[in-house]
Structure 1
Amino acid sequence: MLDRAARRLIDPVLDELALAAHQRGLTANQITVVGFACGLATIGAIALQSYELALLLLLANRLADGIDGALARRVGATDLGGYLDIVLDFIIYSGTAFAFALAQPDRALAAAFLIFSFMGTGSSFLAFAIFAAKRKLDGEAATNKSFYYLGGITEGTETILFFVIILLFPGWFPVAAYIYGTLCWLTTIGRIGAAVQRLR
């Protein structure tokens, strides 16, 4: 929901960072892997209840995720790069929720609900992307993406804000997870409805 507005603000910065990375000989896939490593470290830090460190690592992960895309658009996106980007993102998203279950076992049900919700949002837009490519659909939803991206209430910007909030206030995790998970399901329902209309 907020991705389009957020991109207008951060894209110029990401483009400058991508140019600097390119001048130093870095590739988009290398940045993706470094970002993934930061994401895995985030999971470990949360499990150890080192929430401030986890927040820094998560922000590094998300920054790398922005730079790799900007660099890919500069030098030419690849299918492998697009694949790695989305797969590794969802591993980190679900892994972060799982880490809260490790850190707070008494709140594992909230973490399970959040992972369940991520499955809905992830599968609903990835499945649509398959058929959008098959039918050669295009439009704004595909702009600057490796595939057709079906929007919704909870997109990348909202997910980052959610993670920042729960890392700043880990005691809020159960309530925040149920609220955000519910918003994810509203997104999933909306995407399924949109898919029914467009693919019918």
Structure 2
Amino acid sequence: MLDKWTAPLIQSPLRTVALQLQHHGIKPDQVTITGFLFGMMAVPLLAFEFYSLALVLIIGNRLLDGLDGALARLASPSDAGGFLDITLDFIFYSAIVMGFALASPAENALAACVLIFSFMGTGASFLAYAIMAGKHQLSDPHFKHKSLYYLGGLAEGTETILLFVLFCLLPGYFPQLALGFAAICMLTTVLRVWSGYHSIDQAEKAKDSLKLSAQKTV
């Protein structure tokens, strides 16, 4: 929901840093892997309840995640790099939640399980639609109402970063924050599945209609 506002604000500074990295021969995939390692180092810190240090690494991971994309766009983004980026992102998201479960299993484990479950829904619906959208040359789902388009992106990257920051600042409220965000993710999943299905179905019917018209013309 917030990505469309935050993304334009950070592109200029990211590009400035990316130009410097490019000048020194740094590759996007190197930045991606470095950011992932930062994120993974936060997990044991969370497990031992060093939340402030973990937060520094989490923010570092997110900054490098934006930086690798800016660096890739200076040349020609590769599909291999995109695959690496999105895969490591999903591993990072789940790992951070696991870190809080390890910190206090009795209080946090159930909420962590529910949140990771909800991440599976948002991630699967996002990636599955991306595959089919590429096949049918679609951009955004065809929402009948504008409000549904708004809700379709309710749980995105910016919201997830803010959630992790709150986790670290208010670790005692992890169960409440996790369950609340899980509910938002589940709502997002339902809307994505509904809108994605109808968008792809309409695209398939439109193609079938064109084929039928072409056959009648012949």
Short-chain TM bin: over 0.9
Listed as ranges, the gaps of 5+ residues in structure 2 are 142-151, 202-218
Note the 1:153-164 alignment, pairs <5 A: 153-164=154-165
Matched, 1:94 2:94: yes
Distance 2:91 2:21 in 1: 25
In structure 2, what residue type is equivalent to 1:125? F
Specify the alignment match of 1:173 in structure 2.
174
Residue-pair matches, total: 191
Q: Which has the larger radius of gyration?
A: 2
Distance 2:18 2:127 in 1: 26
Q: SS at 2:25's partner residue?
A: coil
Deviation string, structure 1 residues 100-155 (Cα, Å, up to 9, x no partner):
11111112000000100100000001000110111122369xxxxxxxxxx51000
**Aligned-pair Cα RMSD in Å:** 1.4
Distance 1:75 1:43 in 2: 33
Distance 2:140 2:123 in 1: 20
Note the 1:89-168 alignment, pairs <5 A: 89-106=89-106, 107-138=108-139, 152-168=153-169
In structure 2, what residue type is equivalent to 1:110? A
Specify the alignment match of 2:183 in structure 1.
182
Specify the alignment match of 2:48 in structure 1.
48
Shift of residue 196 of structure 1?
1.7
User: Structure 2-normalised TM-score?
Assistant: 0.85
Distance 2:169 2:24 in 1: 34
Deviation string, structure 1 residues 45-67 (Cα, Å, up to 9, x no partner):
11111100000000100000000
Distance 1:199 1:57 in 2: 39
Contact 2:136 2:200 in 1 (8 A): no
Q: Deviation above 3 Å: which 4+ runs of structure 1?
A: none
Distance 1:96 1:138 in 2: 31
In structure 1, what residue type is equivalent to 2:120? M
Distance 1:83 1:196 in 2: 23
User: Structure 1-normalised TM-score?
Assistant: 0.93
Specify the alignment match of 1:197 in structure 2.
198
Q: SS at 2:26's partner residue?
A: coil
Note the 1:22-61 alignment, pairs <5 A: 22-61=22-61
Q: SS at 2:8's partner residue?
A: helix
Specify the alignment match of 1:71 in structure 2.
71
In structure 2, what residue type is equivalent to 1:167? C
Distance 1:101 1:67 in 2: 29
Q: SS at 1:76's partner residue?
A: coil
In structure 2, what residue type is equivalent to 1:62? R
Specify the alignment match of 1:146 in structure 2.
none
Distance 1:127 1:160 in 2: 23
